[in-house]
Structure 1
């Protein structure tokens, strides 16, 4: 929705300020680094209290974070058992130590399919190439000085590639570790192959665990969208009711609903991003294009809610009591739309718009005048309500295309 007035710009700036405050509250940077020479060194460290508040909220079976934590614990224990069972690969590796398999499983197994697969093949490929390179380096005889120089170079390469991806990082890290184990630890040169084999086993195990015990983002999307719509069916009617009189809206309740709306929306957007990497197209309720459209339409509805809240009447001349008639139809539509998003029923596009057209024809409310004269406040409120209805109808049309990926609905 375009910015149409300085007050609209003020609303968006205030929203940005609230989001910035939420992203920085609970930090301990000022406590930990009052005299540090490196500003911002601890600025991203969450406080213990904030973390303690978040942990209990995830302690339930429906939480993907909790399910992943349990899966990760089971996977690491299983990897440790397998690693110890493998032992030292017939004397090539470190006997009775399975930590490389367990460590790889822990570092590869992520909540999302895309990260798990990418890290799995990257670490395995890098370990194999690093093992080959380490084996080549173990062939010649090294003097103490040459050994020290080579160790420093390999360490520098490992740290230089720390954030360049799993393949390059593990190539140099494996080379460095195996080189030191062979020349300093006195283990035989083929240890390189045992190290690579442990990594491959751990990566394959992590991928298999994810496939057997998945947390598909595509399966979470309908529930997240439905939850967001349930927040809207409380927020938007509350805002429309606020136009009945000055101070008719509980601003604290509105702020709480908007904060919850933003939180659910962030989870939903993250799930949309992760779903693009998942090979689960046949299970998706919507195509990737439709998901991106839903994300844009959700943002548009949220923007309308922001402007409706900013333009709540502050004087008796700005009240528009007629808008309260829309509260119940909008609530009913959003409630049904939440059930439709979850797959429980279908909602036909156009129904809410039909109700709104009947309402405007019956009420005779004016449109906002460009010169700001006359009923500018009333016209602005009508324009905002119309934009909200349009945004909800566009979202309704896309949700209605569920399970019909070949059908493209114009938003």
Structure 2
């Protein structure tokens, strides 16, 4: 993509306004907390301290809107405390420009590295730097600085207290995540009726799993209906695919296929009912026709073999879904949840497969390790930290050297706009300038017309904050317009004339946005050159998952399913990372480097097919007393080694060869012909499909793959 087109696309994305579900009660609660803090500040300390404390309450409320599964009061407290520390340190060094600049660079660099801990931590850290640039100009002594810092912390405490005293839809985010996962599977079941090979996006299941991780405090208070349903939903997905896939034994048309379609429709209805019940905390209301389809004995007379096993398993799993949605839960899941509620959070390393969320104190070493891991050449997070630190320093020096005064607008605009990713940085820079012009213009008109005093300015500031909380999810440009007007009114309340904050804010915001955009062009972290690495990671994860599943058939009595589950989670993470990288690369002004769009499409189709076949095999994993298939062990090892070697070859711009996998399959066939060892046509057929997917991957990478047939889509 050319630079001109990339700029157009990012500008359009930054100025986009979307229709989103509004949360007026939460917005009102945040605005009430802000009003209380401003009122206390005005009554006891005056308008300057009130303005400073208002920034703390404002930021604490914004932190609670971030996409995080932690308790909202904790987010408000963390935001208020971290902002108080940041501003107090800034106060102590504010009168010495070189010392303050050094602190600013260090603080900004650490805020950039904080993105390694996730977007919520990165946004809070960046906001602390931005607000610190404003609040350090308000006090004039160390004693006043301590008062300002204490009031900023007070703002966070007030917001946290309001969340505890006036909760709005407790566990709403976790309910939505679990309900979305069940609704996604319901939609998948319905689509399978018409397209047995349709794709399934695992992101809702991944979000539900992330939401299921709880702190000890949450574990003691989690509603019963949030325990167990996710685990059942995870097991339903492969069963649905296995029931619908013609390769499992059900013909494309006929009475058997009609029965499968009826079962899939009933499953979709039950899953939708469970999703609605969990989302709203209501009893499950099932469709009588769906219940009748699932309980009819005709299924046993029409289906046989793997489809019959899948139908029986589907009925049992749907019963578990209903029980857990009603709050009863299964004995297996209740035992699992009880064990998780009392064991310590030993698995705190980033990316560890666990469902325990560490407390804040235990999270500190996790975040430190994550930040230290990014201190390596080529890390996008490290590049972002360096970029934002340099830009903030340069923006601050430019701002103080210009005759406008209030030079903090330029670095503040830059640090709030910059993100580790190209599209967001450029889009937010454009949106910030547009929102600033709109917000400052409207606030200026009101100030010129009404000439508000301290109290009316405070009221206008609270109203702007209310609009910000209400509309912030509709688009960054809308939120920025509200923030710009909020700051104008708040500084006007503190004694700043509107003429001192309008023109300079627009000009310096433009300077900050331009610095952010130039810095990314000069020191980029493009995703395009890393596409082959992402593709290799997905290939390796898919191969490990397929090998883990096949290995279960070799010695069923000696195998647990933990390695299959771990490999499945890894392949989901790798797949989503690839898809996000591919979407990001499509908007980057970078020439293709070794992976054409056609090759990307063909190879991701092949890897999706590889994962889908492994999932179908997982749906029919043998029990401990099943007959072993010794040849599966050699195939599993061949898959593991070949895909690891293939991932390396992909990164080195070579086409992988799957001779080792073919040899393992030939040896398997030879053992079957001689009658040596156990045989299982179902597993052997799946193994052949795995090899076909790998060969299709190599053809796609080499540019020699055949066009996909209309129905030849993979999950």
Aligned to 1:127: 436
CA 1:88 to 1:148, structure 2 compared with 1: closer, same or farther past 3 Å?
farther
Which 10-residue stretch deviates more, 276-285 or 203-212?
276-285
Residues 1:225 and 2:225 are matched in the alignment: no
Aligned to 1:386: 688
**Alpha-carbon distance between aligned partners in 2 of 1:304 and 1:44, rounded to the nearest angstrom:** 31
CA 1:51 to 1:63, structure 2 compared with 1: closer, same or farther past 3 Å?
farther
Aligned to 1:47: 359
Residues 1:301 and 2:614 are matched in the alignment: no
> Where does 1:286-365 land on structure 2 (aligned, <5 Å)?
286-287=596-597, 290-309=599-618, 311-314=620-623, 318-327=627-636, 329-331=638-640, 333-347=642-656, 358=666, 362=670
CA 1:293 to 1:74, structure 2 compared with 1: closer, same or farther past 3 Å?
same
CA 1:281 to 1:46, structure 2 compared with 1: closer, same or farther past 3 Å?
farther
> How far has the Cα of 1:192 moved from its partner?
0.4
- 2:551 touches 2:636 (CA, 8 Å); kept in 1? yes
- 2:546 touches 2:611 (CA, 8 Å); kept in 1? no
- 1:72 touches 1:106 (CA, 8 Å); kept in 2? no
- 1:337 touches 1:396 (CA, 8 Å); kept in 2? no
**Alpha-carbon distance between aligned partners in 2 of 1:185 and 1:123, rounded to the nearest angstrom:** 25
The alignment partner of 1:59 has SS state of: helix
CA 1:245 to 1:78, structure 2 compared with 1: closer, same or farther past 3 Å?
closer
Q: Deviations over 1:356-377 (max 9, x none)?
A: 8856764557xxxxxxxxxx98
Aligned to 1:86: 399
CA 1:339 to 1:154, structure 2 compared with 1: closer, same or farther past 3 Å?
closer
Aligned to 1:107: 416
Residues 1:273 and 2:576 are matched in the alignment: no
> Where does 1:50-199 land on structure 2 (aligned, <5 Å)?
52-53=365-366, 55-57=368-370, 59-61=372-374, 67-69=380-382, 71-72=384-385, 75-76=388-389, 78-87=391-400, 89-90=402-403, 92-94=404-406, 97-98=407-408, 100-140=409-449, 142=451, 144=453, 150-182=460-492, 185-187=495-497, 189=499, 191-199=501-509
- 1:224 touches 1:268 (CA, 8 Å); kept in 2? yes
Aligned to 1:373: none
CA 1:147 to 1:244, structure 2 compared with 1: closer, same or farther past 3 Å?
closer
The alignment partner of 2:524 has SS state of: coil
**Alpha-carbon distance between aligned partners in 1 of 2:669 and 2:216, rounded to the nearest angstrom:** 56
- TM-score relative to the length of structure 2: 0.45
> How far has the Cα of 1:215 moved from its partner?
1.9
Aligned to 1:372: none
**Alpha-carbon distance between aligned partners in 1 of 2:465 and 2:523, rounded to the nearest angstrom:** 37
- 2:393 touches 2:411 (CA, 8 Å); kept in 1? yes
**Alpha-carbon distance between aligned partners in 2 of 1:68 and 1:29, rounded to the nearest angstrom:** 32
What runs of 5+ residues in structure 2 fail to find an aligned partner? 1-187, 193-199, 224-277, 280-354
Please state which structure has a larger fraction of its residues in helix: 2
Q: Deviations over 1:184-222 (max 9, x none)?
A: 524252530111222222222222222222222222322
> How far has the Cα of 1:106 moved from its partner?
1.8
**Alpha-carbon distance between aligned partners in 1 of 2:535 and 2:632, rounded to the nearest angstrom:** 26
1:25 counterpart (213, 225, 233): 213
Aligned to 1:395: 697
- 1:244 touches 1:321 (CA, 8 Å); kept in 2? yes
- 2:531 touches 2:581 (CA, 8 Å); kept in 1? yes
**Alpha-carbon distance between aligned partners in 2 of 1:226 and 1:45, rounded to the nearest angstrom:** 30
CA 1:362 to 1:160, structure 2 compared with 1: closer, same or farther past 3 Å?
same
Aligned to 2:251: none
**Alpha-carbon distance between aligned partners in 1 of 2:475 and 2:417, rounded to the nearest angstrom:** 12
CA 1:45 to 1:237, structure 2 compared with 1: closer, same or farther past 3 Å?
closer
The alignment partner of 1:278 has SS state of: coil
Two-structure CA RMSD over aligned residues (Å): 4.4
CA 1:308 to 1:47, structure 2 compared with 1: closer, same or farther past 3 Å?
farther
- 1:83 touches 1:198 (CA, 8 Å); kept in 2? no
> How far has the Cα of 1:171 moved from its partner?
2.0
Residues 1:243 and 2:556 are matched in the alignment: no
Q: What number of residue pairs does the alignment pair up?
A: 377
> How far has the Cα of 1:149 moved from its partner?
5.8
CA 1:151 to 1:324, structure 2 compared with 1: closer, same or farther past 3 Å?
closer
Which 10-residue stretch deviates more, 379-388 or 115-124?
379-388
CA 1:360 to 1:54, structure 2 compared with 1: closer, same or farther past 3 Å?
same
- 1:105 touches 1:205 (CA, 8 Å); kept in 2? yes
**Alpha-carbon distance between aligned partners in 2 of 1:143 and 1:382, rounded to the nearest angstrom:** 80
What runs of 5+ residues in structure 1 fail to find an aligned partner? 5-11, 366-375
- 1:65 touches 1:111 (CA, 8 Å); kept in 2? no
- 2:629 touches 2:680 (CA, 8 Å); kept in 1? yes
> How far has the Cα of 1:254 moved from its partner?
4.3
The alignment partner of 1:267 has SS state of: helix
The alignment partner of 1:189 has SS state of: helix
> How far has the Cα of 1:162 moved from its partner?
1.9
CA 1:221 to 1:249, structure 2 compared with 1: closer, same or farther past 3 Å?
farther
> How far has the Cα of 1:148 moved from its partner?
6.1
Aligned to 2:287: none
> How far has the Cα of 1:382 moved from its partner?
1.6
**Alpha-carbon distance between aligned partners in 2 of 1:196 and 1:182, rounded to the nearest angstrom:** 17
> How far has the Cα of 1:122 moved from its partner?
0.5
**Alpha-carbon distance between aligned partners in 2 of 1:213 and 1:101, rounded to the nearest angstrom:** 19
